Amino acid sequence: MSIIRRLLQCIGAYKKDALLAPLFMVGEVVLEVVIPFLMASLIDIGIDGGQPAYIWRMGAVLTVCAAGALVCGVLSGSFAASASAGFARNLRREMFSNIQTFSFTLLDKFTAASLVTRLTSDVTNVQVAFQMLLRLAVRSPLMLALAFAMAFHVQPTVALFFLAVVPVLALGIWFIMGHVHPIFVRVFATYDRLNKTVQENVRGIRVVKSFVREAYEREKFNSVSASIFTDFTRAEKRMAFTMPLMQFCMYACMLLIAWVGARLIVGGEMSAGQLMSMFTYAMQILFSLMMLSMVFVMMIISRASAERITEVLLAETDLTSGPDGATVVPDGAIVFRGVDFGYGGRSGKMCLTGIDLSVAAGETVGILGGTGSGKTSLIQLIPRLCDATAGTVEVGGRDVRAYDLTALRNAVTTVPQKNELFSGTIRENLRWGSEQASEAEMIRACRLAQADAFVRALPAGYDTQLEQGGANLSGGQKQRLCIARALLKQPKILILDDATSAVDMRTDAALRRALREELPAMTRLIIAQRVDSVRDADKIVVLDGGRVQAVGTHAELLQTCRIYQEVCHSQRKGGDFDETEL
């Protein structure tokens, strides 16, 4: 089974611990079996026989055995702990690594909330099951085997009854598992929903509170938690049959032994003492089976989790670097040839159709278009955040798919609409652009992005701690930090996706001027709502309904393009009110 094989690979360096844990467990079990024998003889010979010297001698032996069992037990427990925790660590690590290669399509398919559950709750389930497996999966069968062996040794005919029980049990457990597993698959999908509901609520709490929707959200949450309750209860109630099933088998066994044993004794084929020890073994077997049933229960629960984990481990991204992908992007020229694009692939609705466009290195290109006209989709194709459904996109004279992904994305940097800054200081966030950036480079990037002044004005300057998503900065400040972060990468192509929407006009203009004068070789693609932001571009692309409507300079478009005229008209009277930034 590939699931198990893939999971076992993750044990990795903890293989030693995973082997030592059951090994020491064997030692512990053997000693545990020996100790009662020694105790029995201590009573029989030492106490009933009235031999104090024997008591002392046996006492010493027993103490040594107990110490040995203690050491074995402690070591086994320790190794089981480190093996299972290490296994969980490796699972999380490999999942997280693989997620880093996911394309957006794949991320959307899994959803963030579900990935979070898989990396934590599901891994915990598997970790617990694994630890149990290491400890009990050896202990119980070993105990079981020893008890069986002893039973056969004492009275083979009667011992056969024990064996008759095994298929009944196996069938019973198989039946329970078959009924419970599908419910657990559903339960964990509901866990994802639970996580998502909490996540949306927490992220959108301002909306919830503004609209006084606390009660509505509560209802929404309660319905999710109710379905977890229903499913979990249903699954576990079925699993609750395991223990009584075991008891049924063993009790039936004991009664049979009593009945048959009596006849055997009367027939003179067995002694009363032998019957007594058969019962002792029956009890031991029962106890081991009960332990095993706990293992089975854990296995049932964790099977669904294990499947969800392997789904993440085995998911292959459809966006990979080309074989021997080029690692050097020669320049910032961009060409689109007959590009179609849709998020749903060939069958879905197209967001872009028949895009032909070429941009020379070092050019400034403005992209204008209505809400939902496909601007963001268009620029996502350049750093291969998504792949074109049809046609080709070229950067530096080469198909983007022929590049090494890292090299391509290092050369093409996008500053998206939605600013994402991370918890940490401003300096740490800027370092995303370049790990080795010197202080001077960082300040220069911030100066170009018109961010240096306000950063310096903050109480702790570049070391100011950002709250989640930069909640303690204003929209315009966040945008300028994002641009500075992008500049630190020294890209060949810089794409500003409405990245200055909250920045005032004057600062915006200063920013564009700084970029043009200081970084002339860098190709700049600017998506903007304001005509003013793109007016001085070398060319302006007007998008509408996923098609290129017109390409030209400001002056040309004013003459020829109706949409462009309308856009200019809409802004002529008003335009933007200048906030002057700090």
Cβ atoms 31, 69 nearer than 8 A: yes
- Select from 206, 346, 439, 517 the one that contacts other proteins (CB under 8 A): 206
Work out whether 34 is an interface residue with other proteins (CB under 8 A): no
Residue pair 467/423 in contact (Cβ under 8 Å)? The answer is: yes
Identified binder of other proteins from the candidate list 372, 397, 461, 520, rule CB under 8 A:
372
* 199 part of the interface to other proteins, by CB under 8 A: yes
Binding piece for other proteins, criterion CB under 8 A, among 169-177, 193-201, 306-314, 327-335: 193-201
Q: Which stretch binds other proteins (CB under 8 A): 74-82, 144-152, 169-177, 395-403?
A: 74-82
Return the half-sphere exposure (C-beta side, CA atoms, 13 A cut-off) of residue 367: 26
# chain residues binding other proteins, by CB under 8 A? 191
Instruction: List the beta bridge partners of residue 339.
Output: 355
Q: For residue 540, give the 3-state DSSP assignment.
A: strand
| Residue 477: alpha-carbon gap to chain centroid | 32
Among residues 15, 164, 211, 518, which is the contact residue for other proteins, using CB under 8 A?
211
Per CB under 8 A, 52 contacts other proteins:
yes
- Residue 41 touching other proteins (CB under 8 A): no
Least Å distance, CB 72 to other proteins, is 7
Least Cβ distance, residue 65 to other proteins (angstroms): 8
Q: Considering the complex, what minimum distance in angstroms separates the CB of residue 166 from other proteins?
A: 19
Contacting other proteins within 303-342 (CB under 8 A): none
179 binds other proteins (CB under 8 A): no
Q: Which parts of 415-444 interact with other proteins (CB under 8 A)?
A: 416-418, 420, 422-423, 432-433, 435
Give min distance, CB of 1 to other proteins, in A. Answer: 26
Kindly state whether residue 37 participates in binding other proteins, applying the rule CB under 8 A: no
Nearer to other proteins, 42 or 144 (CB): 42
Strand partners, 87: none
The window from 4-12, 145-153, 159-167, 463-471 that contacts other proteins (CB under 8 A) reads 463-471
Nearest alpha carbon to residue 374 among 140, 545, 208, 517: 545
Helix (H, G, I), strand (E, B) or coil at 391: strand
DSSP 3-state assignment of 46?
helix
Is there binding between residue 175 and other proteins (CB under 8 A)?
A: no
Is the distance from CB of 289 to CB of 246 less than 8 angstroms?
yes
Residues of 188-197 as b/e, b for ≥16 C-beta within 10 angstroms? bebbbbbbbb
Q: Which residues does 500 contact at the CB level (< 8 Å), separation at least 6?
A: 479, 483, 507, 508, 511, 528, 533
Query: Residue 356 or residue 467: which is nearer to other proteins going by CB?
Result: 467
SS3 524: strand
Site string for other proteins, 502-541 (x = CB under 8 A): xxxxx-xxx--x---------------xxxx--xx-----
Three-state secondary structure of 428-466: HHHCCCCCCCCHHHHHHHHHHCCCHHHHHHCCCHHHCEE
Name residues contacting other proteins, limited to 376-395 (CB under 8 A). Answer: 376, 383, 385
Residues 222-281 that bind other proteins (CB under 8 A): 222, 225-226, 228-229, 232-233, 236-237, 240-241, 243-244, 247-248, 251, 254-255, 258-259, 261-263, 265-266, 272, 275-276, 279
Q: Is 186 in the site for other proteins (CB under 8 A)?
A: no
Residues 124-143 that bind other proteins (CB under 8 A): 124, 127, 131, 135
**Residue 116 in the binding site for other proteins (CB under 8 A):** yes
Q: Which residues, at least 6 apart from 239, have a Cβ–Cβ distance to it below 8 Å?
A: 176, 180, 297, 300
61 close to 38: Cβ distance less than 8 angstroms: yes
- Nearer to other proteins among residue 72 and residue 393 (C-beta): 72
SS3 label, residue 552: strand
Question: DSSP letters along 301-344, please?
Answer: HHHHHHHHHHHHHH---S--PPTT-B-------EEEEEEEE-TT
Of 475, 559, 560, 562, the residue at the interface with other proteins (CB under 8 A) is 475
Q: How far apart are CA 389 and CA 391, in angstroms?
A: 7
Binders of other proteins among residues 280 to 299 (CB under 8 A) are none
Nearest CB to other proteins, comparing residues 224 and 359: 224
Between 111 and 337, name the residue whose CB sits nearer to other proteins: 111
Does position 16 bind other proteins by CB under 8 A?
Answer: no
Q: Shortest approach of other proteins to residue 577 CB, angstroms?
A: 4
**The one among 41, 425, 464, 474 contacting other proteins by CB under 8 A:** 474
Task: Decide: 537 and 529 in contact? Cβ < 8 Å.
Answer: no
Segment contacting other proteins by CB under 8 A, of 164-172, 322-330, 443-451, 567-575: 567-575
Cα 297 from Cα 147, distance rounded (Å): 23
